[in-house]
Amino acid sequence: MLYRLQQQDADDIVGEDQDSDLVGTSTDALDNAFSTDSASQGASASLSDGDNVQVQYVVSLANGKEVYRQMGDGDGGSFNFELGGGHVIPGFDSAVSDMSVGEEQDDITIPADQAYGAKGFEAMGIPPNADLVYKIKVVSKN
């Protein structure tokens, strides 16, 4: 599960029509507080299931050991997949679906049950029941 506060959650906490001085913070402040894993803000096009998405990423084990990367030309290339199509691990699909074109997220933790579970993925060096940490950049969609 990814731990990102969505706008609706912020509105529920603060109150959609509340005066920010009365509450002591605004939904913008809450959004910023819970978006610190984002390396770039103000990304452009949002993503939807069915979009063909091009991403670049690095995946590491929870102990920090990098196991795979595709970070563009000269560094593993990019990866294309259909968002929501079941072609990637559920946690990766979920993480990317919360992003926009041009956005980069660091330190996205995907628990084992949303990754490769009890089987792991030996060919990539991912042991059974391993939580994974991703850095993801959404390059484009079409």
Report pLDDT digits (tens) over 80-105: 999 999 999 999 999 999 999 999 99
Q: By C-alpha distance, which of 36, 28, 75, 79 is closest to 56?
A: 79
Q: What per-residue confidence (pLDDT) applies to 2?
A: 37
Task: Yes or no: say if 83 and 48 are a contact pair by the CB < 8 Å rule.
Answer: yes
Same structural domain for residues 61 and 124?
Answer: yes
Same structural domain for residues 71 and 133?
Answer: yes
Q: Which of 10-14, 18-22, 113-117 has the highest mean pLDDT?
A: 113-117
- The pTM of the full predicted model, rounded to 2 decimals, is 0.69
| H or E, element range at 27 | helix 27-33
Same structural domain for residues 67 and 117?
Answer: yes
Domain hosting residue 77, numbered range: 52-141
Q: In total, how many domains does the chain have?
A: 2
Give Cα 80 to chain centroid, integer Å. 15
Same structural domain for residues 10 and 80?
Answer: no
Mean pLDDT calculated for residue range 117-126: 96
**Residue 43: inside a domain:** no
Q: What per-residue confidence (pLDDT) applies to 111?
A: 98
**Residue 97: inside a domain:** yes
| H or E, element range at 8 | helix 7-14
Same structural domain for residues 65 and 119?
Answer: yes
